[in-house]
Every structure is written in C-alpha cells, then in structure tokens.
Amino acid sequence: MEDPWSNFFLSLLDYKTEKFVLTRNRKVGVLHRLVQLGILGYILGWVFLIKKGYQEKDADPHSSVITKLKGISVIHIKEIGDRLWDVADYVKPPQHPSVPDGRCRWHSECNAGQPVIHGNGIKTGRCVSFNFSHSTCEIYRWCPVENQTLPQKPLLAEAENFTLFIKNSINFTKFNFSRTNTLKTADDSYFKGCRYDAHMSPYCPVFRIHDMIKAAGESFADLALLGGAIGLRIDWNCDLDQPPSECRPRYSFSLLDKKYNFRTAFYYQDPLNQHYRSLLKLYGIRFDISVHGQAGKFSIVPTAVNLGTGAALLGAASVVCDLVLLYLDTKAEFYWSKKFEEAKPPKDTVHVAP
C-alpha cells in the first residue's frame, strides 16, 4: 500500500509546464477578446489618457494667499451719528458672542477674579440681589449690557459692489515650477479696472463681492442681513508637458454658513475722565480661502510601472476564460482532459543481443 505522505512529498518535486490547447469554442473566444479590449481601454483610456499615468506627480505644493478689500460707504449709527467706513473698518478678527450669566446664593459661590464665560466680565466676589426671586454674582464689566435687537435691513448695502483682490502664488518644488494667478503686466492701472472672468480675463485676481456670492448659489441681500461664510477654493492642476501658460487656476465658490457676526468697540472719555465705549455687533460676510494643487510631468518610471501592470492584467484575461472553459462550460470535462495530462517518461528497455 502506498504511503500518502510519501506521495505528497514526492509530488513537491514534480514540475508543471504549460500546455497550449487550441479550442474551437467561439463563445469563450469572444469573451476573451472582450476582456482584452476592456483591459486595453482601461489602461490606455483611464490610466494614461485621463489620469496621465505616464507622469510623475507633485501633489504637495507650497502656496501663499494675499487679500485686499476695497470699498467705502457711509452709515448712520445711533450712538455716534454718521460714520464713514473704509477697508480698515471692514476687516476685523472674529469674536464669539456671549450671554450674561452668574446666578448665586452665597458670596462663596462668586470667586473674586474669576472670569464669567457667559458674561463678558470678572466676578468681584459679592453675591448681590437681582430681584425678589434670585441673586447674581456682581460682575465688573461694561454697562449697560448688550441688547439682542436684530437689524431690520443691512446697513452696508453698498458692499455688494466692493471688490476683493486675491493674490495667490504656488510653487511645485519637485519640478522647480512656480506660478501666480496675476497677469504679468507693466500697466499699473490694469488691476484697478479689471474684473475676474473665466473666459475674458482669467488672470485678473479682482473679484466683485456680488459675483462671488452669486457663484456660491446665494444672494447678497440674504447674507448681508445676518452675515454668512463663503468658501473659495483655488485649484491648480498643471500638466507640465504643456506650455506654462496652460497652467492656470480654477476658482469655485460654496456656501459654508448663513450666519456670521462679531463684535468690535470704540473707546473714549468724557470731560470728567469717565470711560465709555460703543459696542458694535457687526453682521458680515466671511471668506475662507483654500488652495489645492497638483502638477505632473513625463517620467519613464511611472510609464514603465503602468505598462507592466497593463501587461499583467492582459494575462488575467486568459485566467478568466480558463475558469469559464473548465468550470462553467457544458463540455468542461472534455476540456479538462485536453488541457491537463500526466506525462511519464517511458522506462528504459534492455535489448539482448542474438
């Protein structure tokens, strides 16, 4: 009786070689060509034509953004009368709104010097009566407290026609290639009169506020009342196998938030040296700018890698067809017998001389 373990170890020493069998199966033949065409279409169309698999990529560029807002308007503020607003007044850092808070029952609950997160002030350490029902911590702060009156109409309606100058520079260090979104011109007055247009003036970095909000799918009237946030995305997708002039930015706008406000104050003294301030809660439009970029240039290394991958995928077409032929075809048993066979060399015979 043969030992199965011996047969197993001896089978490890067997050598398998390919046997080519020409099959007259038209269905499998058609499937084979279709799979090959599909793989060729993927390699040539998607990998090389669309994704430019023959290029080396730089997807981590260095970039910088400089913005300048231009526009002037006059508004009437109850506390201070008519006021002229220019770019120094429009661009402000944001501050978070707050609500007075600090109820207490005992002085021990009002730690002196402790900031009141929702009160814009510092606790004095005293718990004082607010009314007949409860008491509050005494807070050292500006008085009177801010009211919550909402505006009925936007005060700075003229801001719709203001312009925003956006200068963006990008550098693909891997290829030592730099570009800017501004037109190189010796005419200093060009940027004073031009406005961005994707077809007519793609290198004019001056954007009208109305056009930016409209491109985000909103109207200035809706955002100007309670504020809002607009996202501006600058994309640089550069094919460095083409002339440098073909590397140009693409701008896209999106609405991030329909509400945005912040506070700012103006301080002054009266003749008696009493300190006062006018607190303004401003509703405005915030622009968040992000820059993304990728550059590619021909290189033999990615080309060879993708060609090798394509050749391997073409070989997979034969594997798919073999599976269909040997497992799914109605005559699979017949094809098994033709494709696989065991070849044993004949034993040497001894001839006896007469």
Radius of gyration from C-alpha coordinates of the chain: 38
What are the two backbone dihedrals, phi and then psi, of residue 57, each rounded to the nearest 5 degrees?
Answer: -110, 150
Please report the pLDDT score of residue 99 as a whole number.
34
Nearest Cα to Cα of residue 73 among 288, 284, 219, 281: 284
Identify whether the C-beta of residue 137 lies closer than 8 Å to the C-beta of residue 104. yes
d(CA 53, CA 40): 14
Are both 86 and 179 inside the same structural domain?
Answer: yes
Q: Structural domain tally of the chain? A: 3
Please check whether residue 349 lies inside any domain of the structure: no
Query: Based on the domain organization, do 253 and 200 belong to the same domain?
Result: yes
Indicate whether 352 belongs to any domain: no
Q: For residue 70, which phi and psi values (nearest 5 degrees)?
A: -130, 130
Q: Return the amino acid letter for 32.
A: H
Q: Is residue 147 part of a domain?
A: no
Q: Is residue 354 part of a domain?
A: no
- In this structure, the answer to whether residues 280 and 312 fall within a common structural domain is no
Query: Same structural domain for residues 110 and 203?
Result: no
Identify whether residues 129 and 239 lie together within a single domain. no
311 plus 279 within the same structural domain = no
- Statement: the pTM of the whole predicted model exceeds 0.75: no
181 and 34, same domain (yes or no): no
Whether residue 105 is predicted with pLDDT greater than 90 in this model: the reply is no
Q: Is it the case that residue 39 has pLDDT exceeding 50?
A: yes
Under 8 Å between Cβ of 84 and 158: no
Kindly report, residue by residue over 111-140, the tens digit of the pLDDT: 888 877 655 678 888 898 876 777 888 888
C-alpha to C-alpha distance for 169 and 181, rounded to whole angstroms: 7
**185 and 126 within one domain:** no
3 lies in some domain:
no
Residue 148, in any domain of the structure: no
Shared domain for 219 and 319, answered yes or no, is no
Q: Which residue, of 112, 140, 168, is where some domain finishes?
A: 140
Residue 141 has which token pair? 């702060």
**Under 8 Å CB-to-CB from 310, ≥6 apart: which residues?**
39, 40, 43, 47
pLDDT at 97 over 60: no
Q: Which of 297, 312, 327 is the last residue of a domain?
A: 297
Q: pLDDT tier at 235 (50, 70, 90 boundaries)? A: very high
Same domain, 191 and 235: yes
Phi, psi of 105 (to 5 degrees): -125, -30
CATH number at residue 287: 2.60.490.10
Q: For residues 274 and 142, what is the distance between their CA atoms, to the nearest angstrom?
A: 12
Per the CB < 8 A criterion, the answer to whether 307 and 299 are in contact is no
| The pLDDT of residue 177 | 93
Q: Are residues 47 and 166 in the same domain?
A: no
Domain membership of residue 246 as a residue range: 59-95+154-297
CB 294: neighbour CB atoms within 10 A? 15
Is 6 within a domain? no
User: Is residue 125 domain-resident?
Assistant: yes
CATH code of the domain in which 310 resides: 1.10.287
Is 126 in the same domain as 200? no
Q: Which tens digit of pLDDT belongs to each residue from 250-293? A: 999 999 998 888 877 778 888 888 888 887 777 888 899 999 99
pLDDT value of position 81: 66
The reported pLDDT for the residue numbered 136 is: 82
DSSP state of 144: S
